[in-house]
Every structure is written in structure tokens, then in C-alpha cells.
Amino acid sequence: MPLNSHAARRGRRGRPSLKISPIAAAVFATAITLQTCTPLARATGAHPDAIVGYWQRGEGEAVVEIRRRADHYHGVIVASERRPETIGTEIFKSLRFDPERRCWHGRVYSMARDREFSIEMTLPDPNRFVISLRVLFIRKSVQFNRQLPHLGDPKDVTGAAEQRLATEQIREVPD
């Protein structure tokens, strides 16, 4: 046996070569992928309270406030230029966060059809969420964008929410 038994294991450039089995390489690659993807998923706002706030489907559409209520979330229309009679209508119900899939499951109320549908809500980034619903073989997705209240604006979302809360508190006062 030669004095330097490791000489046979050296690569072309005289450096030691490392042989890794395909299984070990796959395990290593999976561990690296999980370490880099998990923080990325967290960075996209997939946290249970990430959906709390004011959201709007598009310009001129109703503004929905999503709040936490005990162990779930719900969304109520707090401002609407076109249909002010809809203010106070709860459209997102029983939203619960699924930590494994990093999404919320619940129900949405369709005023046009006067019925509720099961939905899945995802947050691709902190200022946008997408709801997906499936009816039979048809799947529909709708995007909402985060809205920041504008202080001093007569159409202030926060003012509408405070007015709605005051109205709810008045209704809850016993006779």
C-alpha cells in the first residue's frame, strides 16, 4: 500500500474529489430548496393576518374591509360610490388560514346571484389577493388590490368604516 493512500482519490488538478450518491445529492438539493423557498413564501405575505385591511377589486368598485373575528376572518363592504345601499354587507365569510397551503378558505357572498360560494384566497404579494371559486367545471379568479385610506378625503374608507361601526354599536344597545 502506498504511503499516500489518498493519492488515488485526487482529481485531475490534485484536489481531493468527492463522490456523492444520487440519493444524497437529491436530499441535499431538497434541503437547500426548502431553506430558500420557505422564507420566500413568508415574504409574499402568506401570514394569517396578511389579509387584514382595505381591499378593492377595481377603480370605482366597492371597498371591502377584512377583519379578524375570533378564529376566522370576514370582509364587509365599507364604501361604495355606485351602490351605497351595499355598505355593511358581509361578502367574505368564515375565512380560515391553511398554514400548509398558505392560503385562506371560506365563503363569498354574490349579491348578483344572492348565494354563497366556497373560495380559496391567495396572496401573491402583500398588496394583492386573488380569490378562486369553482362552480361545477367552471373556475373563476378575481383579483383585489390593497387600498390605503386617504385622510381628509370625504370618501375616506376609514371614515366609512367608523360610521358603520358606530351604527352597529347603536343597533347593539339593548332597549
pLDDT at 29: 41
Whether residue 77 is found in the same domain as residue 13: no
CA 135/CA 114 separation, integer angstroms = 15
Whether residue 109 is found in the same domain as residue 158: yes
Whether residue 26 is found in the same domain as residue 53: no
- One-letter amino acid identity for 106? G
Whether residue 101 is found in the same domain as residue 147: yes
| Residue numbers of the domain that contains 13 | 5-43
Whether residue 143 is found in the same domain as residue 121: yes
CA 101/CA 123 separation, integer angstroms = 11
CA 73/CA 93 separation, integer angstroms = 7
**pTM greater than 0.75:** no
pLDDT at 99: 92
Whether residue 15 is found in the same domain as residue 77: no
Cα torsion for 95, 100, 101, 107, to the nearest 10°?
A: -20
What's the CATH code of the domain at 156? 2.40.128.520
Low-confidence ranges of the chain (pLDDT < 50): 7, 24-45, 151-159, 161, 164-175
CA 167/CA 154 separation, integer angstroms = 18
pLDDT at 134: 85
pLDDT at 85: 94
pLDDT at 48: 87
CA 127/CA 57 separation, integer angstroms = 12
